[in-house]
Structure 1
């Protein structure tokens, strides 16, 4: 019984399991069929989309082909038109060349001369009152085509105007900036195209600011507005003119004065000038002393019996004191006095000779110092700008000049003073020798008298 029940339960369980498996299989088949239908539907939609895209691309390709054909046709047309235009342009250029002939060269010459004239006019003082045709010249310079007859006539008139203006002296009123920087109007005379003259002298015309500025330095005996009144009245008058139209006048400010040249010598130059001053004082003092002594000696020679305060008088006074001695003793005493007087006569001359020899040596020292300074400047800044090296070179040259200038007069003074001292010493020696000879004659005469008396 129990076995039947167990078998029944097992059979029921198996039947239930088979029915469940059948149900599951039916569900899976249904899901697979549904998914397959959905896949087919999706594929159909994609195929339709692809077909639509293919149709669109085909239409776009046809449109682009038509556009390409149209563009190619337009390119061919433009190429043909360009060739025709190029041919026509070449024919027109040849026609223009044949018709213009040498006018192209004339235009180049006219334009070049117009440029030169405009450059001259922009810097000329004639722009104050004699530049009526400047706009015509500017038009010719800026033109890209052949100048018209009116322009050519204006260019000729401008040249003619400048020629006339360069040969006239005209009274003008110019804007003037004084030393305080105040701008006012002042009467002036335009001397052709060379310069402006006011009461202060020549004026520098600033063409950029259209004002006149006085030059830093005027030429010697330079003209003024009052001094050229005869020229303004139509008369002739000699006048200092700057042919460079202001360049030389501007360079006058850069021309160094004697004081500037002496300052350029530096410390060495000042020492040389000091030596020159000392030598001048010594030479002047000794020259006056020797001249006075020589004059006193001349007076003494006229009156030998009166012993004055001079070298010859002292020699004669020694003779009077020592004339009772022997000739040898008298000669030695006179020689002593002459040597003593000679030392007084030559006093200071050795110093003068030393200064004359020392001055060029100091000049050489200044030259070496200046060149060292120049080389230092070249090392620091290079040698591109001569103005940077000018200080050292100027010192080198100025000290050399100062040394030579100081040495020559001192050497000449030493020679002259030495000659004067030698002349005085010669007089003293002659007089001394004469006194010794006179003493020897007296001694010999006395000896002869004694022998005769014996």
Structure 2
């Protein structure tokens, strides 16, 4: 298009030139036309060449497009084949996994049960007396219980052996040498006796295995009540001899509780000053009651002997002194005067017979009141502990509660026996006073029956 415009432009310029300069030579016009024709032919040639190149490039692009489409189709077919192969492989893997899972389900349950059994036995072995004798079994059980992978055949055999060993040890009484820790924290070798899987002890007393520990510890407080002597008898017994032994199903925990129980003196000390005062009152009251009871028993015997022989009054007993107050001159005494003399004699003897009873009644009334005082004091201490430390640790409140309860118990334990003793003393003294009254009345009646006293 640009070539045609160029030719038209040249023609237009030539025409204008001809119009301006009409006299120009015809040869120039011919030459110009010839140049225009040649330029047009050249431009056509160039256009044909350009068109041919365009066509060739178009053919090449079409060829490349066909090749690219062929490659795309080939790649797509290859991808589809690979996808089909992959899906077939996945289905095969799923089928194999399903077969493996079905084939290993029983075995998996077996391994799970093995790990669970090893874990349970490991927890028991941490405090079992058998571990004192065989400490290496803790590591073996932990290796099986904590193994994230499937146990090996050797581990399963080891677990089976440990189970059989534990069952066998439960029914055995063995004597062995082991390392223990005494109450001062010192390590030493000692001879031990293990009774099944329940208790273990040395010549110094019972031992236990701390949770997670590997060395036995001697109980700091040994239980009383003959428990330690039973252990000593086992060490002294000959092989094959039958001896009673203490077994603790809790593997030492009940022994710790028994050993930590306070004895009688510890209970008394928990009462504090109020408890000591109550016991002092009880001791004084008991001493006075026993002294008076002994006096009344002896006096009762003497009075009974005097009743057998009233004609010979004796000053060693109250009845003899009352009879002696009646006098021997029967004719000169007036009946009223004799009655006054006998009443005075009985009144003189009564205080001795009723001695300490008023004081004992006071002790009987004071002892529970002192116990109540200790209870109030203990509760005050308890509330002070709660105020300072809260209720997070019950042991901090145990002192005040113990004092509150112990003093109450001590007050009742003192008051109840003294109450019975006072009642016994009162009954005996009243019986003796009644005997004196009866005999004095009998003496007075006999005097009034005599001639001249009517």
Please state which band the TM-score falls in when normalised by the shorter chain.
0.7 to 0.9
Q: Report the counterpart of residue 346 of structure 2 in structure 1.
A: 338
Q: Report the counterpart of residue 105 of structure 2 in structure 1.
A: 101
The alpha-carbon deviation at position 245 of structure 1 amounts to: 1.0
Q: 2:257 aligns with which of 246, 251, 257?
A: 251
Q: Distance in 1 between matches of 2:190 and 2:255?
A: 20
Q: Report the counterpart of residue 60 of structure 1 in structure 2.
A: none
The alpha-carbon deviation at position 387 of structure 1 amounts to: 1.1
Q: Distance in 2 between matches of 1:218 and 1:97?
A: 57
CA contact (8 A) 1:126 1:165 kept: yes
* Aligned ranges 1:49-60 → 2 under 5 Å: none
* Aligned ranges 1:34-49 → 2 under 5 Å: none
Q: Distance in 1 between matches of 2:143 and 2:249?
A: 30
For residues 90 and 370 of structure 1, do their structure 2 counterparts lie closer, same or farther at Cα, with a shift above 3 Å needed?
A: farther
Q: Distance in 2 between matches of 1:136 and 1:377?
A: 48
Q: Report the counterpart of residue 29 of structure 1 in structure 2.
A: none
Q: Report the counterpart of residue 405 of structure 1 in structure 2.
A: 413
Q: Distance in 2 between matches of 1:372 and 1:177?
A: 41
Q: Report the counterpart of residue 394 of structure 1 in structure 2.
A: 402
Q: Report the counterpart of residue 325 of structure 2 in structure 1.
A: 318
Q: Which moved more, 1:391-400 or 1:255-264?
A: 391-400
CA contact (8 A) 1:272 1:406 kept: yes
The alpha-carbon deviation at position 150 of structure 1 amounts to: 3.1
Q: Report the counterpart of residue 425 of structure 2 in structure 1.
A: 417
Q: 1:264 aligns with which of 261, 264, 270?
A: 270
Deviation sequence 1:34-65 (CA, Å, 0-9, x none)? xxxxxxxxxxxxxxxxxxxxxxxxxxxxxxxx
Q: Report the counterpart of residue 275 of structure 1 in structure 2.
A: 281
Q: Distance in 2 between matches of 1:369 and 1:322?
A: 67
The alpha-carbon deviation at position 103 of structure 1 amounts to: 3.8
Q: Distance in 2 between matches of 1:132 and 1:370?
A: 50
Q: 1:187 aligns with which of 186, 191, 195?
A: 191
For residues 432 and 106 of structure 1, do their structure 2 counterparts lie closer, same or farther at Cα, with a shift above 3 Å needed?
A: same
Q: Distance in 2 between matches of 1:171 and 1:340?
A: 76
The alpha-carbon deviation at position 246 of structure 1 amounts to: 1.0
Q: Distance in 2 between matches of 1:301 and 1:214?
A: 69
SS at match of 1:176: strand
The alpha-carbon deviation at position 174 of structure 1 amounts to: 0.5
Q: Distance in 1 between matches of 2:92 and 2:372?
A: 83
Q: 2:162 aligns with which of 143, 158, 164?
A: 158
* Aligned ranges 1:190-209 → 2 under 5 Å: 190-206=194-210
Q: Distance in 2 between matches of 1:226 and 1:339?
A: 65
CA contact (8 A) 1:174 1:186 kept: yes
Q: Note if 1:233 corresponds to 2:228.
A: no
Deviation sequence 1:7-48 (CA, Å, 0-9, x none)? xxxxxxxxxxxxxxxxxxxxxxxxxxxxxxxxxxxxxxxxxx
Q: Distance in 2 between matches of 1:250 and 1:439?
A: 79
For residues 235 and 447 of structure 1, do their structure 2 counterparts lie closer, same or farther at Cα, with a shift above 3 Å needed?
A: closer
CA contact (8 A) 2:118 2:141 kept: yes
Give 5+ residue unaligned stretches, structure 1: 1-76, 449-454
For residues 98 and 184 of structure 1, do their structure 2 counterparts lie closer, same or farther at Cα, with a shift above 3 Å needed?
A: same
SS at match of 1:185: strand
Q: Distance in 2 between matches of 1:116 and 1:303?
A: 88
Q: Report the counterpart of residue 147 of structure 1 in structure 2.
A: 151
CA contact (8 A) 2:172 2:195 kept: yes
TM-score for both structures, normalised by structure 1 = 0.73
Give 5+ residue unaligned stretches, structure 2: 1-78
Q: Note if 1:115 corresponds to 2:122.
A: no
Q: Distance in 1 between matches of 2:432 and 2:103?
A: 104
SS at match of 1:227: helix
CA contact (8 A) 1:197 1:225 kept: no
The alpha-carbon deviation at position 438 of structure 1 amounts to: 0.9
TM-score for both structures, normalised by structure 2 = 0.73
Deviation sequence 1:181-219 (CA, Å, 0-9, x none)? 543322222222223232223223357564333222144
* Aligned ranges 1:354-373 → 2 under 5 Å: 354-373=362-381
Q: Distance in 2 between matches of 1:322 and 1:88?
A: 142
The alpha-carbon deviation at position 280 of structure 1 amounts to: 0.9
SS at match of 1:202: strand
SS at match of 1:240: coil
Q: Report the counterpart of residue 174 of structure 1 in structure 2.
A: 178
Q: 1:437 aligns with which of 424, 445, 454?
A: 445
Q: Report the counterpart of residue 53 of structure 2 in structure 1.
A: none
The alpha-carbon deviation at position 179 of structure 1 amounts to: 5.4
SS at match of 2:260: coil
CA contact (8 A) 2:233 2:243 kept: no
Q: Distance in 2 between matches of 1:115 and 1:167?
A: 22
Q: Report the counterpart of residue 358 of structure 2 in structure 1.
A: 350
Q: Distance in 1 between matches of 2:323 and 2:143?
A: 104
Q: Distance in 1 between matches of 2:141 and 2:274?
A: 59
